[in-house]
Structure 1
Amino acid sequence: MLKRAREEAFKPVDLASLVFLRVAFGLLLAGYQLRALLHGTIERNYVKTIFHFHYFGFEWLRPLPGRGMLWLDGVMVVAAVLLAVGAAYRAAALVFACCFTFQFLIDEAFFINHNYLICLLGFIFAAIPAHRACSVDAWLRPGLRSRTVPAWCLWLVRFQVAVPYVYGAIAKMNGDWLLHGEPMGFYLYMNRSNAVLKHLVYLPGMKFVFAWCGMLFDLLVVPATLWRKTRLLAFAALLYFHVSNSFMFHIGVFPWLMISATTIFWDPAWPRKLLPATLFPESDAPPTPERFRKPILVALALHAAIQLIVPFRHWFYPGDVNWHEQARHFSWHMMLRHKETLIRFRAHDPNSHTDAFINPNTFLNSWQVSQMKKIPDRIHQFARFLGDVLSFGKPKRVEVRVDAYVGLNGRTPERIVDPSVDLGAEPRRWGPAEWILPLATAIPDAQMPAPESETPDASDSMYSD
C-alpha cells in the first residue's frame, strides 16, 4: 500500500488548476496588502502602537523600526504580483510567505484564521512548481515549460484547503452552536437590516437552520466538490456561503480566497476549457529523481501530521475552549463565540500604598482593547506590561489585579480571571492557567430580541476569527 502511494505521489497530473490558483492567490493578496497600506491599517497596527501581544515563544519578535513595516508591506505587494505572473516565482513566493508570516507573528491580537492559511499557502507555493506554464519564468526559460507536475503538488494544496473546512465543521459540533444556535442568533440579529436577512431573522428556529447548514456545509463541501455529480451544486452553495459571509461579517479577502482555492478540487485540467490552448505547453515534466522522493514524502507526512494534530491540542486544557481560549489558535475555530465584556485593571503601589485604575486605551488602540478583554492570555500579557511600566524605578514591584467579566454566547457575564491574583507578576507558562476561572453559567434559552429593540453594541463581536 505504501509503495502504491509512493508511486501515485509522483505520477504526472495537469497543472492548469494550480496555475489558476497561483494567479488568483497572488492578485488577491496583492490587493489585500495594498488596501491595508492605503487605508492606514499597517501604520495604525504596527507603526503607531505602543504595545504588542505576543504568541507564546515569539515574545522577542518586534516590528521593524520607523516606517519599516510600511516598506515591508510594499515588498509583499510586489512579491504577490510577481508570484501571480510567475516572475522569479520561487523567490517571490518565499519572500511573500516570509514577510507575511513575520507580520502575522508580531501581534497576536490581530490573529485571523485566514491569515494563518495565507502563511501556509505562501510557503506551499514556494515548494511546488506552479510556474511551469502561463508564467514569465516559463516564457524566459523554455526548458522549464511543462503541462504537468507531480501529483503530490496538487494533493498538498487540496489537503491544505480542505483542512479549514473539515476542522471548521468539527469545531461547530458543540452544544452552543448546534443545540442553542449561538452565536449564530446574535450574528443574524446584528444583520437584521440586510435586504435578504431582514425577512428571515425573526422566523422561529432560523438561527438553528443557519447553524446546522453552516456545519454541514463545512463538513460536506470538499467531498461534494471532488465528486463530479455534485460539483455544480456544491459550488453554488459555496458561492452563496462565502458571498453572504462577506456581506455579513466583512472578513476581508477570506471569502474570495476560499472561492478561488476550492476550485482546486475540480478536474485539474478545467482552466484549459476556458483559455486558449496555446497558453499551455504540451510536454510533460521530467520524472522526479529517485534520491529526492523519500525526503519529499517525509516532508509531506510531517506537514500533514502537524496540520492534523495541532488543531486538537486544546483538548488537553480543561473546560470550554471558547471560554478560556487556551490553545485555540491554529485550530480553525471560526465564528464560534460572541463575548460581552467588562474589565478593570487595578494597580496597587506598595511603595506609596496607593491604588489606581488603569485605562487600557492609554497603551492600546481600540482594536487591541476589544480583542484583549475577551481572552485571558491577552489580559495576562497586558497586566504584565503594566506591572513593568508602573514599577520602573521603584524598589517594590507594583501589583496589577484584574476585574474581568465575560458573557459567552448570551450567558450572564461572570468572572473569567481570579481577581486576587497579581497578574502583573504571574509568569506566562505553557499549559493550563490556574488563575482562569471555569465557566459556571449555562447558556439561557434566549429569544430573539424584538424588532423595536435597540441595536446592541457590536464592538465586542468576535468577527475576527
Structure 2
Amino acid sequence: MKLCSSSWYRRLKMAISLRTTISFDNIIYLLHEPRDSASLAVWRVLFGLIILIDIPQERGMASISSRWSDPHRCNFPLFHFLAPLPVDWMYVVYLLMCLGALGLMFGFLYRLSCLTFLLTYWYVYLLDKSVWNNHSYLYGLLGLQFLFIDANRCWSVDGLIRPSIRNSHVPLWNYALIRFQIFIVYFIAGLKKLDKDWITGYSMDNLALNWIFDPFRLFLTNEQIDLYIVHIGGLMLDLMIGFLLYFDKTRPVAAFFCVSFHAMNSQMFQIGMFPYTMLVSILMFCYADWPRQLFKRLPQVCHIVLPLNTPLQCSKHCLYQESDSQQQLDSHQQPDEVISPIRKSHKQKRKSKEEVIIKRTNNETESTIYLKHRIIFGVLLAYSLTQVILPYSHFVTKGYNNWTNGLYGYSWDMMVHSWSSQHIKITFVDNKTGEVGYITPGVHLWEGASERWSAHGDMLKQYAMCLADHLKDHNIHNTQLYFDVWRSLNGRFQQRMWNPKVDIVAADWSPFNQSSFLMPLLSELSPWRIKFEEIEDSLDNHTTVVFVADFPGLHLENFVDPNLGNTSIQVLKGSVVVEITDYKENITLHEGGSIQVPSGKFHIVHTVSDEPSCYMYLTVNTTDVAIRKKFNDFKEIRNSNESSLSEFSSKELQIFKDLLEHEKLIEEYRNMTLFDRFRDFYETKFSLFASSFNSAFQAVHNIANSASFRH
C-alpha cells in the first residue's frame, strides 16, 4: 500500500512539475527568447531577390498589356467588387510591388516596403482566381510574415540609418513562425498525397520520360519510376522532411533530399521560382548564427566585402530572464564566437577592438510578460490553427468543391490531381426569339487564359454572367447559357462535369452550398484504368484513344476532324445509339460493338442503357501518317540531286522544313549542358525584365502626360 501511495505521489509531483514547465508563461518566454538575427537577414535578402525575379513572369507583369488592357474582358476575382485598374495604373501597381520587394530585400523602410508589397501582391492575387496555385498563396503568406517579424535587424539599410536596431536580437517566434509555415507546406502536402490515386500511381503520368530520371532508368522501368520514385518517394518525402529538418542529426540528410527534390522539380515543371524558394527555406532550419559562423571561416581578405560584424544588441521585442540572463544569453548566442570574425590567441592582442560588448541595462531589456506578449502569442496560435484547418475547410466552403474537396490554390494538394479537358461546348438560347446558338469557349478572356474556369462552379457562374452581359451587345437581353464540359481526373474516363441541361445564368451558386449543377464523378469506373493501360500498350504510334463515359439519358454531339480519316467508336460497357446526322441513320451498339464514323461530319452518341455507358474513340490521323511517310522519304533523298525533290509539292516542302527545325530544337535541348540551361534561364528572365520595365516606365510617362497606353 505504501508502495502504491509513493508511486502515486511521484506521478502527481511529476505531473505538477510538467504542468509548471509547459505553462503559458513559459511558452511565451520561450517564444520571446533572444536569437541572432543573421539567418533572418539572409532569408529576407534571398526572398526579396526571388520575388523580384518572379514578378515579371509568374506574377504576370510581362503580360499586363494583353491581360488587363481590355476593360470588357471577363475576369474571375474572388470578390465581385474587385476590378482591375486601367492598364497604365496596373503597371504602377506592379512597379509598387517591385519597389516593395526591393525595399524588403535591402531592409530599407522595412515595414513600409513590406506593406507596399503585401497590398499590391494580394490585390493582384485576388483579382484572378484562374491563375491561383499553392506557391503563389505561399508567397502571400510569407509576405504577411515579413510585415511582423524583425527581419531588418541585421545587414539592412534601416540598421545603417537607425543604430538602435542595428545587429540586434530577434525573438525566437520570428524563426518559429517561418519554420512552422514551411513544415505545414510539406506535411499537409504529404497528408493530401495519402489519396488512393496518388498511392497507386495515377496522379502524375509519364513523368519518368523526363531526362531528369535518366540515372534511375539504369535499374528501374519507366512504370516503376513513376510509381516508386515519383509517387511513393514524393509521399514519403513530404510526410517526413519537415520533421527531419528540425533535428541536427537528420538535417543534412533532409537537406540532401530537399535539394534533389526541388532541383528536379525546377526542371520538370513550369512553377516559377517556387523550387528556389523552398531551397532557400532549408537555411531557416539551421542555427540562427550560421551566417556568422560561415563568415568566420572565410579568408581574411573576404572580410572587406562581407557585412559588418558588429556586436549584438538587446531588443525590446525579446524577453530576458532576470536571474541568469547573462548566462542564458551566453549559452544561446555564444557572442564571443558568433561576432568575432577571428578567434584571438590567449595573448588577447588588440583586445579592445575585438572583444564583444553586449549592451544590457534595465532600460533596454524586458523580463516581464506584458499584454503585448500575450497578444502576440494569441495571434501566433490563431494563425497556426488557421493554417492547419484551412486546407480541410471544404466542409464549410462547399461551393468551391468539385470532384475534389478543398479550396483550390491553398489546399497544399500539390500535383495530387491531374486534369485533362477533352470537350467544351457553350450553348445559348434567346428566351425572346427562341434562337439557339453556340459560343466559342474562352471568348472574352485574355489570350493566355487557361481552361481552369471550366472546372470550378464559382468561375463557371462568373463566366456565364459575363457572357450574358456581352450577348446584350448583340441584342440578346434575356438568355440562357448551357455548358457541356468533359474532363478526366487522374486518368479516368472523360465524363461530363456539369449538368448540360441546367441554365448556369439562372442557377444559384453559394460558397457555402454544393453546386447544384455539378455531375458526380463516376468513381465506380476507376478500376477501368488498368484496362486503359492494356489497350494503349496494344496500339501503334499513329493511333490515339479517348475513353468516354456518359450518364443514362444524355448524349454527346461530336465532330470528327477531316484529317482523322479512320475514326471508330467501340462500346466497353452499356448500350448506345450512334446517330449520323447527315445520313439520318441510327445504329445501336452494345458491349463489344463498334462502328466507324465518317470524318468531317457530326454524329451524336446517345446513352440508352440504365447504367452509364462506356466507350472509346480510336482515331488515326491519316493525313499525319501520310506526311510522316513522305517526310521519311524526303530525309533519305534530300542530299541527292535537287531534281529528286520535284515529287514533293511546295506546301509539303515547307512542312518538311518545319519538321526538321522541330527535330533540331529537340536535339539541341537534349544536348544542353547545365551552363546552357542556366544561360537560357538567364536570357529568358532578362528579356522579361527588360520588356516589363520598359512598358512600366512608358505607362508612368503616359500617366504623367495624361496619355493612353494603347496610343
- TM-score between the two structures when normalised by the length of structure 2: 0.60
> Aligned residue for 2:561?
none
Change (3 A) 1:334 1:10: same
- Give the Cα separation in 2 of the matches to 1:64 and 1:200: 56
Cα deviation for residue 46 of structure 1 reads 3.3
> 1:269 — aligned with what?
289
Task: Determine which of 376, 391, 407 is the counterpart of 1:311.
Answer: 391
- Which residue pairs with 1:143 in the alignment? 164
Within 5 Å, which residues of 2 pair with 1:23-38?
23-35=45-57
Q: Structure 1 356/126 Cα, relative in aligned 2: closer, same or farther at 3 Å?
A: same
Structure 1 equivalent of residue 533 of structure 2: 447
SS at match of 1:323: coil
Amino acid at match of 2:499: D
CA distance in 2, matches of 1:201, 1:335: 22
For 1:242 and 1:389, the matched residues in 2 are separated by 44
Q: Indicate which of 22, 25, 30 corresponds to 2:44.
A: 22
Confirm or deny: 8 A CA contact 2:457 2:515 kept in the other structure.
Answer: no
Check conservation: 1:12, 1:150, Cα contact below 8 A.
yes
Structure 1 residue aligned with 2:273: 253
Query: Structure 1 residue 40: deviation in Å?
Result: 2.4
- Match of residue 419 from structure 1: 500
Code of the residue aligned with 1:207 in structure 2: it is D
Asked whether 1:205 is paired with 2:227, we answer no
Question: Within 5 A, what are the aligned runs for 1:141-290?
Answer: 141-179=162-200, 181-189=201-209, 191=210, 202-209=221-228, 210-275=230-295, 278-286=308-316, 287=318, 290=370
- Tell me the TM-score normalized by structure 1: 0.89
The AA in structure 1 aligned to 2:132 is F
The one-letter code matched in structure 2 to 1:203 is N
Q: Which residue of 1 aligns with 2:671?
A: none
State the distance in 1 between where 2:213 and 2:270 align.
Answer: 13
Paired residue type of 1:233: V
* Superposed displacement of residue 93, structure 1: 1.0
Cα distance change on mapping 1:167 and 1:42 into 2, 3 Å: farther
Q: Does 1:101 align with 2:140?
A: no
Alignment CA distance shift 1:114-1:201 (3 Å) = farther
Q: Secondary structure of 2:234's partner?
A: helix
Counterpart selection for 1:438 from 520, 523, 526: 520
Question: Whole-Å Cα distance in 2 between the matches of residues 242 and 393 of structure 1?
Answer: 51
Give the Å deviation of 1:39: 7.2
Alpha carbons 1:27, 1:80 under 8 Å: kept: yes
Find the aligned partners of 2:450 and 2:483 in 1 and give their Cα distance. 14
Among candidates 385, 389, 401, match of residue 482 of structure 2: 401
Could you list the per-position Cα deviations for residues 420-453 of structure 1 after superposition, in whole angstroms to 9, with x for gaps in the alignment? 1100222331221121011014331253966974
For residues 50-95 of structure 1, what are the alpha-carbon distances to aligned partners after superposition, in whole Å with 9 as ceiling and x for unaligned? 111122xx11101121321122112211221111111111111111
Q: Distance in 2 between matches of 1:224 and 1:270?
A: 18
What is the distance in 1 between the residues matched to 2:540 and 2:70?
Answer: 40
Distance 2:399 2:521 in 1: 7
- Note the aligned Cα RMSD (angstroms): 2.9
Compared with structure 1, are the counterparts of its residues 218 and 324 closer, same or farther at alpha carbon in structure 2 (3 Å cutoff)? closer
Cα distance in 2 for partners of 1:422, 1:412 equals 25
In structure 2, do the counterparts of structure 1 residues 224 and 456 end up closer, same or farther at CA, with 3 Å as the change threshold?
farther
Aligned in 2, Cα 1:239/1:265: closer, same or farther, shift over 3 Å? same
**1:326 Cα deviation after fit:** 5.6
Q: Which has the larger radius of gyration?
A: 2
**SS of match in other structure, 2:27:** helix
Alignment of 1:332 onto 2:355: no
CA distance in structure 2 between the aligned counterparts of 1:271 and 1:455, rounded to whole angstroms: 58
Q: Select the residue among 54, 65, 84 that pairs with 2:77.
A: 54
Contact 1:133 1:280 in 2 (8 A): no
SS in structure 1 of the partner of residue 170 of structure 2? strand
Distance 1:39 1:293 in 2: 40
SS at match of 1:337: coil
Q: 1:104 to 1:175 in 2, by over 3 A?
A: same
Structure 2 vs 1, CA of residues 138 and 114 (structure 1 numbering), >3 Å: closer, same or farther? same
Specify whether residues 280 and 234 from structure 1 end up closer, same or farther in structure 2 by C-alpha distance, changes over 3 A only. farther
- Deviation of 1:7 (Å): 1.4
Q: Equivalents in 2 of 1:225, 1:362: separation in Å?
A: 48
Report the equivalent of 1:10.
32
Change (3 A) 1:267 1:375: same
Deviation string for 1:98-121 (max 9, x for gaps)?
111111000000102111111111
Deviation digits for residues 107-157 of structure 1 (CA, Å, limit 9, x no counterpart): 000102111111111111110111111001101111112342111111111
Confirm or deny that 1:123 pairs with 2:144: yes
Query: Taking structure 1 as reference, are residues 201 and 79 closer, same or farther at Cα in structure 2, changes over 3 Å only?
Result: farther
AA paired with 1:268?
A
Q: Which whole-Å CA distance do the structure 2 matches of 1:322 and 1:172 have between them?
A: 18
1:283 maps to amino acid: Q
Between the aligned partners of 1:214 and 1:456, the Cα distance in structure 2 is: 30
Contact kept? 1:109, 1:371, Cα under 8 Å: yes
Q: C-alpha separation between the residues in 2 aligned to 1:48 and 1:243?
A: 38
SS in 2 for 1:343: strand
CA contact (8 A) 1:314 1:328 kept: no
Shift of 1:23: 0.5
The amino acid that maps onto 1:306 is: T
Q: Look up the SS of the partner of 2:519 in the other structure.
A: coil
The superposition leaves residues 7-50 of structure 1 with CA deviations (integer Å, 9 ceiling, x where unpaired) of 11111112221111100011111111144689723333333571
1:392 deviates by 5.9
Deviations 1:231-254 (A, max 9, x none): 111111111111111110121010
For residue 332 of structure 1, what is the amino acid of its counterpart?
A: W
- Distance of 2:206 and 2:455 partners within structure 1: 17
Q: Secondary structure at the match of 2:455?
A: coil
Give the match's secondary structure for 2:373. Answer: helix
8 A Cα contact 1:15 1:268, kept in partner? yes
Distance change in 2, residues 1:35/1:416 (3 Å): closer
SS in structure 1 opposite 2:492?
coil
> Structure 1, residues 288-338: CA drift from partner, whole Å, max 9, x if none?
662311221121122112111111012457899672566334211111122
